[in-house]
Amino acid sequence: MTGNPPDSALPAPFPSTHWTRLRSSDGPAAFESLARLYWKPIRAYLRAALGRRADESLDLTQGFFAWAIESGFLAKADPARGRFRAFLKVALRNYVAKAEERDAAQKRGGGVRLVPLPSGELDGADVEDRSGRTPEEILDLAWKAEVVRAAVERTEIELVRQGRPVAFAVFRDWYLDASEAVDHRGLADSHAISMVDVANHLARAKRVWRGHLRDLVRETVGSGADLEEELAWLAGGKAP
């Protein structure tokens, strides 16, 4: 028997994401959402590429946002050709290479917060990198750190909202504490719970965290294949 397969046999379409909406009518809003989440990696790239001081980094980042929006570069976004992270690298290289246009964009956007950022916040993403890494490599490292941080933050919000703050505390102590002295027995003692509770809390929190990590990455890709490759990269694989 021939004919079209039933709907249940067809692969589910990949959902619309911030990345795939960049070329639509709500492209600026989609870009702002992505920019607000990934401004630290962008800032780290610009510092490395331009050799600027840490206290200049927020203005540099706002200048890039102004240029990306006002120059029409966002219209060149093509989700079918890659990930938002790859597009961002191209945009940053163009921005850095065209000094006159960059300075003009900064002047046009001077004092205007196109994307709300925490004014004056300086952290590890602003530390001068002396390892010899390229700006692209620095952006990748900062990107990884920001995705993981955002997923952890959302995990805490969800678990606390569910009335499970201990589950997050156990997850935090087990996965985020660099000390080798942390073990299940120690967690049970420090949180006054059983070993079984420790295992259950870790399993639940890790499941929630992975879900948020997947959701965050999904917003920056345009296909299921790209999603899986990005997740594999975050887990320690080769950068796609």
List, for residues 127-159, the tens digit of each pLDDT value. 455 568 899 999 999 999 999 999 999 999 999
- Split at pLDDT 50, 70, 90, the class of 12 is low
Higher-pLDDT residue of 149, 107: 149
CA distance 59 to 105: 11
* pLDDT-above-70 percentage for the chain: 76
- Split at pLDDT 50, 70, 90, the class of 164 is very high
3-state SS, residue 222: coil
For the stretch 67-102, pLDDT in tens is 888 887 887 888 777 889 998 999 999 898 875 555
User: What confidence score (pLDDT) does residue 233 get?
Assistant: 92
Among residues 160, 155, 153, 188, the alpha carbon closest in space to that of 174 is found at 188
Domain range summary for the chain, segments of one domain joined by +: 27-234
The tokens describing 60, both together, are 């540099």
Residue 148's CB: how many other CB atoms inside 10 A?
Answer: 16
User: What confidence score (pLDDT) does residue 112 get?
Assistant: 47
